[in-house]
Amino acid sequence: MATFQSLPGFREFYPDALARRNHIFRLWRQTASTFGFAEYDAPVLEPLELYKTKSGDEIEAQLFSFTDKGGREVALRPEMTPTVCRMVGAKANALKRPIKWFSVAEYYRYERAQKGRERAFFQFNADIFGEPGPEAEIELIALLTQCMCAFGLTEQDFYVRLSDRNLWFYYLEALGLDEAKTRAMLSAVDKFEKAGEDAFKAYEEQHGPIGAELKAKILAFLQIKTLAALEQTLAPVGGEKLAARLADWRKVLGGLEAMGLARYVEVDLGVVRGLAYYTGFVFEAFDRKGELRAIAGGGRYNDLVAKLGGPELPAVGFAIGDVTLGLLLEARGLMPTLVNASDIYCVIGGEAERRAAFADIHALRAAGYRTDYPIREVAFGKQFKLASESGAKLALIYGADELAKGLVKVRNMSDRAEQDVPAAQVMEFVRDFFGGE
RNA sequence: GCGGUCAUAGCUCAGUUGGUUAGAGCACAAGAUUGUGAUUCUUGGGGUCGCGGGUUCGAAUCCCGUUGACCGCCCCA
Same domain, A68 and A208: yes
Separation of A82 CA and B28 C1' (Å): 48
pLDDT tens by residue, A52-90? 998 888 889 899 999 999 999 999 999 999 999 999 999
Nucleotide nearest to A59 (CA to C1'): B77
Q: What is the pTM of this model?
A: 0.92
Q: Straight-line distance from CA A11 to C1' B21, in Å? A: 38
pLDDT value of residue A56 = 86
Of A293, A310, A331, which residue sits at a domain end? A331
In a domain, A37, yes or no: yes
Q: Please indicate, yes or no, whether residues A311 and A406 belong to a single structural domain of this protein.
A: no
A230 and A309 fall within a common domain? yes
Positions on chain B within 7 A of a protein C-beta: 1-2, 10, 30-38, 47-48, 50-51, 67-77
Strand B–CB A62 distance below 7 A: yes
Say yes or no: A241 and A269 in one domain.
yes
- Domain range enclosing A45: 15-331
Let me know whether A27 and A161 are in one domain.
Answer: yes
- What does the pLDDT look like over A223-258, one tens digit per residue? 999 999 999 999 888 888 999 999 999 999 999 999
In this prediction, residue A3 carries a pLDDT of 62
Whether A437 shows a pLDDT value over 60: the answer reads no
Supply the CATH number for residue A399's domain.
3.40.50.800
Chain A window 309-368, residues with Cβ within 7 A of nucleic strand B: 319, 349-350
Instruction: Judge whether residue A138 contacts strand B, using its CB and a 7 Å cut-off.
Output: no
pLDDT computed for residue A339 by the predictor: 61
Type of residue found at A306: A
User: CA–C1' span, A113 to B53, in Å?
Assistant: 29
Looking at the 3D structure of chain A, how many domains does it have? 2
A366 CA vs B77 C1’ separation (Å): 46
Task: Work out the average pLDDT over A374-378.
Answer: 86
Residue A4 within a domain: no
pLDDT at A398 over 80: yes
Res. A1 pLDDT band, cuts 50 70 90:
very low
Q: Are A238 and A349 members of one domain?
A: no
| Assigned domain for A32 exists | yes
Task: Supply the ipTM of this predicted assembly.
Answer: 0.86
Q: Answer yes or no: is pLDDT of A4 > 50.
A: yes
Last residue of a domain, one of A272, A307, A331: A331
Report the pLDDT value the prediction gives residue A364, as an integer from 0 to 100. 95
Tell me the pLDDT of chain A averaged across its residues.
92
A384 found inside a domain: yes
pLDDT exceeds 90 at position A33: yes
Do A31 and A178 sit in the same domain of this protein? yes
**CA–C1' distance A1–B61 (Å)?**
20
Closest nt to residue A417, judged CA to C1': B36
Asked if A39 CB < 7 A from strand B, the reply is no
Which of A275, A304, A331 delimits the end of a domain?
A: A331
User: Which CATH number characterizes residue A267's domain?
Assistant: 3.30.930.10
Cβ of A8 near strand B (under 7 Å)? The reply is yes
Q: What is the pLDDT of residue A275?
A: 65
Same domain for A280 and A373: no
Residues A290 and A405 in one domain: no
In a domain? residue A6:
no
Q: Are residues A311 and A377 in the same domain?
A: no
Give per-residue pLDDT as tens, A179-209: 889 988 998 998 888 888 888 888 888 888 8
Length A110 CA → B59 C1' (Å): 38
Confidence band for A2, pLDDT divided at 50, 70 and 90: very low
In a domain, A8, yes or no: no
User: To the nearest whole percent, how much of chain A has pLDDT over 70?
Assistant: 98
Q: Check whether residue A283 and residue A394 sit in a common domain.
A: no
Please report whether residue A26 resides in a domain: yes
Strand B within 7 A of A87 CB: no
Distance A386 CA to B40 C1' (A): 18
- Per-residue pLDDT of A109-152, as tens digits, reads 999 888 889 999 999 999 999 999 999 999 999 999 999 999 99
Residues A39 and A168 in one domain: yes
Asked if strand B comes closer than 7 Å to A63 Cβ, the answer is: yes
Query: Is A7 contained in some domain?
Result: no
Residue A305 has pLDDT above 60, yes or no: yes
What does the pLDDT look like over A325-367, one tens digit per residue?
A: 999 998 888 887 656 788 999 999 888 888 889 999 999 999 9
Res A167: pLDDT? 93
